[in-house]
Amino acid sequence: MNQLTYRLTSAFPFLLIFASLLSLFYPGLFTWFRGTSITIGLGIIMLGMGITLKLEDFKRIYLYPSNVLLGIGLQYTAMPISGWTIAHIFNLPPEFATGIILVSCCPGGTASNVITYIAKADVALSVTMTSFSTIFAVVLTPILTSFLADSTIAVNGWGLFYSTLNVVIVPIVCGVLLNQFFPKVTTFLMPASPAVAVFMIVLIVASIIGSSSAIILEHGLQLIAAVMSLHVSGFFLGYVISKMVIKDKIVSRTISIEVGMQNSGLGVVLAKENFTSPMVAVPSAISSLFHSIIGSILSGIWRRN
């Protein structure tokens, strides 16, 4: 990672906070980025993940299968259960409750790889967990969301499945194939990939916050408290449970980051494409902001220790 890209990715949470505050009070600065643009933006992020992978990289699961399986297992058990529990504890409106559950059922996001790098944890393990949890998301995210949120608001499970397939698997497969058969192209593109991901995530989050600014200002404290609780529980459970099972500090930190940081951009796109209420997408947008803040604080502490 070159110096410019490193500085930009390190400044990710500050850029996100700044853009989010701007969009909250001046929505027009970012709401032009909407609809198909958001879907394309997430596809570019997923393509960026794909070009960092080769077919042989998927063999890495054989190097530390217990670590990967534990991380993915916590991703799809601890977080969805926390999402469902927090939605009920805070007595959120049905749309917000569904949005919290939806983002809790999403896979780990690419931002977790950046935070893991900054924290000096196990980047290879983080990338492997992100890759496999993203692949499993095609099936697990729609099933878990439908099961946990269907009593709250009508959930189109098949719609979630096709949306996840289109915006996750297709770009990643294209990226892997591009890396496999045109390595010179991906070598040229790869240094800029993290910076492009940061730019796209900031645009997606700021756009959703801007388009829902009135709703956020009305329900802000309750929603922020719920989203923060979700991610704090993810980081906490990811670390404590993996430390109890594996007893390795670096691996536990890596799993904690991976479990605590969701692919909120995917949550935004799935909410936009499969629910009529714009409120469902709001928790995912706020989620991207707060998991980045918490992850950055933890990475700073762990980097020094």
Tens of pLDDT, residue by residue, the chain (305 residues): 566 666 777 777 788 788 888 988 888 888 898 778 877 887 887 787 778 777 766 676 677 788 899 999 999 999 999 999 999 999 888 899 999 999 999 988 777 877 887 777 887 788 788 888 888 888 898 899 988 987 556 666 677 777 777 777 788 788 888 888 888 888 888 877 777 877 887 888 788 788 778 877 877 788 889 999 999 999 999 999 999 998 889 999 999 999 999 888 888 888 888 888 888 888 988 887 788 888 878 887 887 77
CA distance 11 to 199: 11
The rounded Cα 289 to chain-centroid distance in angstroms is 10
Give the tens place of pLDDT for each residue, 47-82: 877 787 777 666 766 777 888 999 999 999 999 999
Question: Where exactly are the structural domains of the chain?
Answer: 29-304
Helix pair 264-274, 123-149: axis angle to 10 deg: 30
The count of C-alpha atoms lying within 13 angstroms of the C-alpha of 47, restricted to the half-sphere facing its C-beta, is 15
* Structure token digits, residue 194: 């993290």
* Among the listed residues 233, 216, 207, 219, the one whose alpha carbon sits nearest the alpha carbon of residue 291: 233
Q: Please state, in angstroms and rounded to a whole number, the distance separating the CA atoms of residues 89 and 225.
A: 11
Could you tell me if 266 and 167 are in contact, meaning their C-beta atoms sit under 8 angstroms apart?
yes
Give pLDDT tens digits for 152-185. 566 666 777 777 777 777 887 888 888 888 888 8
Spatial neighbors of 154 by CB under 8 A, at least 6 apart, are none
Neighbours of 10 (CB within 10 A): 18
Q: Residue 182: CA atoms inside 13 Å, Cβ hemisphere, count?
A: 11
What pLDDT is stored for residue 199 in this prediction?
Answer: 83
Q: Which of 87, 120, 116, 117 is nearest to 101 (CA)?
A: 87
CATH class of the 29-304 domain in this structure: mainly alpha
